[in-house]
Amino acid sequence: QVQFVESGGGLVQPGGSLRLSCTTTKNFETIGVLGWYRQVPGKERRWVARINAAESTRYSDSVKGRFTISKDNAKNTLFLQMNSLEPEDTAVYYCNEIPSVAGFWGQGTQVTVSS
């Protein structure tokens, strides 16, 4: 069973940085688009950053200029560098393909931005 496993979350003060990682047993080179999503209680999960096989990236307006998505195909690992974090970035962060595959969701990693 393929699943993504996220790590790297935590508590950080506003203006701080975190780097999230995501690994899977699935070969990244077989995946067209990978993405980072986030979800807050009561709201639907939404993608915030995406990267395709050619390593072209896109970001949601809410994180553009602050977050950077990257990947290491040799290690089947996806990264999200988050800088200038804001309280509004508080959420559980997940990775998955885009479009997402229901059975691939992991447990996510909690990011809390608070002073």
- What's the confidence (pLDDT) of residue 19? 98
The string of pLDDT tens digits covering residues 50-64 is 999 999 999 999 999
Task: Please state, in angstroms and rounded to a whole number, the distance separating the CA atoms of residues 32 and 40.
Answer: 27
Question: For 38-45, which contacts have Cβ atoms below 8 Å and span 24 or more sequence positions?
Answer: 38/89, 38/91, 38/92, 38/93, 38/94, 38/111, 39/91, 39/92, 39/94, 39/108, 40/90, 40/91, 40/92, 45/94
Could you report the per-residue pLDDT of 78-106, keeping only the tens digit for each?
999 999 999 999 999 999 999 999 889 99
Q: What is the pLDDT of residues 15-74, one digit of tens each?
A: 999 999 999 988 988 999 999 999 999 999 999 999 999 999 999 999 999 999 999 999
Q: Is 30 helix (H, G, I), strand (E, B) or coil?
A: helix
